[in-house]
Amino acid sequence: MQITLPDGSPLELADGATVIDAAAAIGPRLAKAAIAGRVTAATPGVTRLVDVAAPLHAGDRVDIVTLKGDDPDAVDVLRHSASHIMAQAILRLIPGTKYAIGPTIENGFYYDFQFPEPITDADLGRIEKEMARIVSQNLPVTRAELPRAEALAVFGPAGAAGPAGPGADQPFKVELIEDLVTAAEAEGSGVPTISVYTQGDFIDLCRGPHLPSTSKLGNGTFKLTSLAGAYWRGDEHKPMLTRVYGTAFATKEELAAHLEALELARQRDHRRIGRDLDLFSFHEEGPGFPFFHAKGMRLWNAMVDFWRAEHVRAGYEEISTPVILRRELWERSGHWDNYKDNMYFTEIDEQPYAVKPMNCPGGLLVYKSRRRSYRDLPLRMAELGRVHRHEMSGVLHGLFRVRYFTQDDAHIYCTPEQLEDEVRGVVRFTHHIYAAFGFSDVKIELSTRPDKSIGSDEMWERAEGTLSRVLDAETGPGGEPLAYVLNPGDGAFYGPKIDFHIRDVMGRAWQCGTIQVDFAMPERLDITYTGADNEEHRPVMIHRALLGSIERFMGILLEHYGGNLPTWLAPVQALVIPIADRHAAYGHEVLGALLQAGIRADLDARGESMGRRIRDGQLQKVPYLLVVGDKEQESREVAVRERGEQKGSVLLADAAAQIAGEIRDRRLPPA
Ligand SMILES: [Zn+2]
Ligand SMILES: [Zn+2]
């Protein structure tokens, strides 16, 4: 028979040849490296990832998958096989364990187990050792298709079908087989066979494909990373299982680089920094509701003071609207229909109310509170609005996923003619704000009309045209055209939008800002302005947020800087350390001078040694430590340590002026 290679060239093979035969026909090195095949059948033209042992058919287009290069399919097969090897190791070490499912995920894999006794992180090492043994045993991995009854006998109770083999007594697998059969029958596709994979003393229910043998997973290329709880099938009424996470890479070097990045991320975890720097906490009494401590509020206020000052300069007014409003308003605004599962409700005077998940309806009531003329437009109303949204308890994550947050919201009301200028203004403003916080790598996405939408074709065309015209004409910091990605059909149902993603120092992208044109809300809440023609017109409404959520942005900042915030944001900008008790009075004088200069300064006069207090100040990530002793007191100086570096003694007045200048200019720490 004849098959086709990816470059289009034909290859003659014996009838019944497999993927590995095709690889061998091309060359022995490829046969050695092959771990799977991407096969596109001539009809119906679907591409499938298959085992190297899978038979080929005349007319197939065959692409040999190897771990060389960055083939995502190859890494996926590798990680999936690693999850089987991990399950095998665990079953060998801990008899009586029930195994559930073990998929790959971004950067790794996991497998869920029900253990007879709980395991801890300390057990991961011995599981890795057993995995290494399985790899060295080089067990062939074979696929089999079993009829339903046979598959159930394999995984069913021991003794039911003769002596118990691998897979016996696995109730989760039995449940999965029964569901597979039910689903297939519901589809009318007949009673399916069940594919299983065997390697030595381990068998698993699996669609595949898998590495052809366990040694293809090289030793030193995998690592078990953590444990977590997870409900069977994500259902809280079902048993809680233990999820064992791991990762695997094609090479030891890639694994090492990944583990290093993980360690960096762990050290920079904002939840850890928040605790260590005494910024915020979470409590059982309000899961997902952050509590900000005194130092956290210093950071909060530094962010918000800057945000407010810049908004005044950009021509915004600030408003504030209630957190709880009548349910009827949310019905009118459309939130009830589209968003009620994420909202909290309450009652006042026996009337139904809702806690706001967004600020827009309240903002519109402010707009409506008086007659608006075309002379009032554009009207830019900003609101640092605290919104509450219900998130499942399982997804809550520090400041990144919370149940209340403060949007740095604004609604701009303008005439259709003003839309372009307003959008341009927001695009520039957004870049300006991000740059001040130290984010200059900004990715922009423009999302256009989705299938389900309201508004006329003409409105959409005009709004989409306006947004793309603005982006096309803008330039980046170096004068280069602003790059953006088009997401056709990804807009909101009420209008097109521009999203901003910032990239942090670890290369992660965070969607923060958004500009959304809204045709629906002005209609629904019936807002108008009086035109020059003395007629009532509908204004265009723009929703926009720059940071998105103050809480989440704070988390991003903490991780981006690893807690070493720019001085203008640092909760404690300078810490005065008098060497001995006799320097306390001068220390207080230094503190007073710093506070007078507008610097957030503290004094550490604890009875600890100077070395200890300097170390603590550094651990607290205070940018400036100012040590004072006899010499400094005499000459009215301070000995400066800037971010761990000794800078020598300078006059107190000069030090204060320098720090104040750095704060005023919002200077960023060197990268
Ligand atoms: Zn599998
Ligand atoms: Zn809004």
- If you measure from the C-alpha of residue 651 to the centroid of ligand 2, how many angstroms do you get, rounded to a whole number? 51
pLDDT of residue 671: 61
CA gap 121, 130 in Å, rounded: 15
Query: Among this protein's residues, is 583 annotated catalytic?
Result: no
User: Catalytic pick from 206, 360, 414, 512?
Assistant: 360
- If you measure from the C-alpha of residue 356 to the centroid of ligand 1, how many angstroms do you get, rounded to a whole number? 45
CA gap 408, 308 in Å, rounded: 10
Half-sphere CA count of 286, side-chain side, radius 13 A: 9
Judged by its nearest atom, the ligand closest to the C-alpha of residue 335 is 2
* 525-540: average pLDDT: 95
- If you measure from the C-alpha of residue 245 to the centroid of ligand 1, how many angstroms do you get, rounded to a whole number? 15
pLDDT of residue 180: 83
Tokens of 2: 């004849």
- If you measure from the C-alpha of residue 453 to the centroid of ligand 1, how many angstroms do you get, rounded to a whole number? 41
Q: Of 508, 466, 468, 518, whose CA–CA distance to 488 is shortest? A: 468
pLDDT of residue 455: 79
- If you measure from the C-alpha of residue 359 to the centroid of ligand 2, how many angstroms do you get, rounded to a whole number? 6
Question: Which amino acid makes up residue 450?
Answer: P
Name the strand (E) or helix (H) holding 635: helix 630-635
Crossing angle between the packed helical segments 294-313 and 419-437, to the nearest 10 degrees:
140
CA gap 72, 106 in Å, rounded: 10
User: Catalytic pick from 409, 499, 518, 602?
Assistant: 409
Per-residue pLDDT of 303-344, as tens digits, reads 999 999 999 999 999 999 999 999 999 999 888 888 889 999
Arithmetic mean of pLDDT over the chain: 93
CA gap 497, 522 in Å, rounded: 17
Say if residue 524's pLDDT is above 90: no
Judged by its nearest atom, the ligand closest to the C-alpha of residue 196 is 1
* 358-368: average pLDDT: 96
Tokens of 634: 């005499």
Per-residue pLDDT of 440-475, as tens digits, reads 999 999 999 998 887 788 888 988 999 999 999 998
Beta pairing, strands 10-12 & 601-603: unpaired
Judged by its nearest atom, the ligand closest to the C-alpha of residue 497 is 2
pLDDT of residue 165: 79
- Which residue do the tokens 């401590």 mark? 293
Contacts of 198-201 spanning 24+ positions with Cβ under 8 A = 198/141, 198/142, 198/144, 198/166, 199/84, 199/85, 199/88, 199/134, 199/139, 199/140, 199/141, 199/142, 200/88, 200/134, 200/137, 200/139, 201/88, 201/91, 201/92, 201/166
CA gap 31, 218 in Å, rounded: 17
pLDDT of residue 54: 95
Using pLDDT thresholds of 50, 70 and 90, give the confidence band for residue 159: low
Query: Among this protein's residues, is 512 annotated catalytic?
Result: no
- If you measure from the C-alpha of residue 129 to the centroid of ligand 1, how many angstroms do you get, rounded to a whole number? 21
Question: Which amino acid makes up residue 565?
Answer: L
Judged by its nearest atom, the ligand closest to the C-alpha of residue 198 is 1
Query: Among this protein's residues, is 497 annotated catalytic?
Result: yes
CA gap 543, 495 in Å, rounded: 10
pLDDT of residue 261: 86
Say if residue 161's pLDDT is above 70: no
Instruction: Please answer whether residues 78 and 135 qualify as being in contact, where contact means their C-beta atoms are separated by less than 8 angstroms.
Output: no
* 172-184: average pLDDT: 87
Instruction: Please answer whether residues 110 and 80 qualify as being in contact, where contact means their C-beta atoms are separated by less than 8 angstroms.
Output: no
* 490-514: average pLDDT: 91
3-state secondary structure of 313: helix
- If you measure from the C-alpha of residue 432 to the centroid of ligand 2, how many angstroms do you get, rounded to a whole number? 21
- If you measure from the C-alpha of residue 467 to the centroid of ligand 2, how many angstroms do you get, rounded to a whole number? 18
Beta pairing, strands 324-326 & 351-355: antiparallel
Instruction: Measure Cα distances from 567 to 50, 504, 620, 666 in Å.
Output: 55, 18, 13, 7
Instruction: Please answer whether residues 176 and 205 qualify as being in contact, where contact means their C-beta atoms are separated by less than 8 angstroms.
Output: yes
* 497-526: average pLDDT: 92
Q: Of 543, 544, 540, whose CA–CA distance to 416 is shortest? A: 540
Instruction: Measure Cα distances from 473 to 194, 427, 468, 491 in Å.
Output: 57, 11, 9, 21
User: Catalytic pick from 216, 411, 560, 600?
Assistant: 411
- If you measure from the C-alpha of residue 199 to the centroid of ligand 1, how many angstroms do you get, rounded to a whole number? 11
Judged by its nearest atom, the ligand closest to the C-alpha of residue 202 is 1
The size of the chain, in residues, is 671
Question: Which amino acid makes up residue 604?
Answer: D
Query: Among this protein's residues, is 80 annotated catalytic?
Result: no
* 558-580: average pLDDT: 97
- If you measure from the C-alpha of residue 502 to the centroid of ligand 2, how many angstroms do you get, rounded to a whole number? 21
Using pLDDT thresholds of 50, 70 and 90, give the confidence band for residue 236: confident
pLDDT of residue 290: 98
* 538-560: average pLDDT: 97
User: Catalytic pick from 407, 418, 573, 620?
Assistant: 407
Query: Among this protein's residues, is 210 annotated catalytic?
Result: no
Judged by its nearest atom, the ligand closest to the C-alpha of residue 518 is 2
Name the strand (E) or helix (H) holding 576: strand 574-578
3-state secondary structure of 530: strand
- If you measure from the C-alpha of residue 206 to the centroid of ligand 1, how many angstroms do you get, rounded to a whole number? 4
pLDDT of residue 189: 66
Beta pairing, strands 442-447 & 404-414: unpaired
Query: Among this protein's residues, is 543 annotated catalytic?
Result: yes
- If you measure from the C-alpha of residue 136 to the centroid of ligand 2, how many angstroms do you get, rounded to a whole number? 59
The residue ranking higher by pLDDT, 35 or 264, is 35
Say if residue 45's pLDDT is above 80: no
Compute and round to an integer the Cα radius of gyration of the chain.
Answer: 31
- If you measure from the C-alpha of residue 522 to the centroid of ligand 2, how many angstroms do you get, rounded to a whole number? 11
CA gap 143, 209 in Å, rounded: 9
CA gap 233, 253 in Å, rounded: 35
Judged by its nearest atom, the ligand closest to the C-alpha of residue 141 is 1
Q: Is 141 exposed, middle or buried (0-12, 13-18, 19+ CB in 10 A)?
A: buried
User: Catalytic pick from 223, 389, 544, 560?
Assistant: 389
* 599-627: average pLDDT: 97
Which range, of 26-35, 162-171, 630-639, averages the lowest pLDDT? Answer: 162-171
Instruction: Please answer whether residues 324 and 304 qualify as being in contact, where contact means their C-beta atoms are separated by less than 8 angstroms.
Output: no
Query: Among this protein's residues, is 68 annotated catalytic?
Result: no
pLDDT of residue 191: 66
Judged by its nearest atom, the ligand closest to the C-alpha of residue 545 is 2
- If you measure from the C-alpha of residue 41 to the centroid of ligand 1, how many angstroms do you get, rounded to a whole number? 23
pLDDT of residue 478: 76
CA gap 87, 438 in Å, rounded: 44
Q: Phi first, then psi: give them for residue 528, nearest 5 degrees.
A: -140, 170
- If you measure from the C-alpha of residue 204 to the centroid of ligand 1, how many angstroms do you get, rounded to a whole number? 7
Instruction: Measure Cα distances from 492 to 85, 339, 390, 453, 530 in Å.
Output: 44, 13, 20, 8, 28
* 99-107: average pLDDT: 93
Q: Phi first, then psi: give them for residue 638, nearest 5 degrees.
A: -135, 145
Is the N-terminal amide bond of 212 cis, ω within 30° of 0? Answer: no
User: Catalytic pick from 210, 223, 327, 497?
Assistant: 497
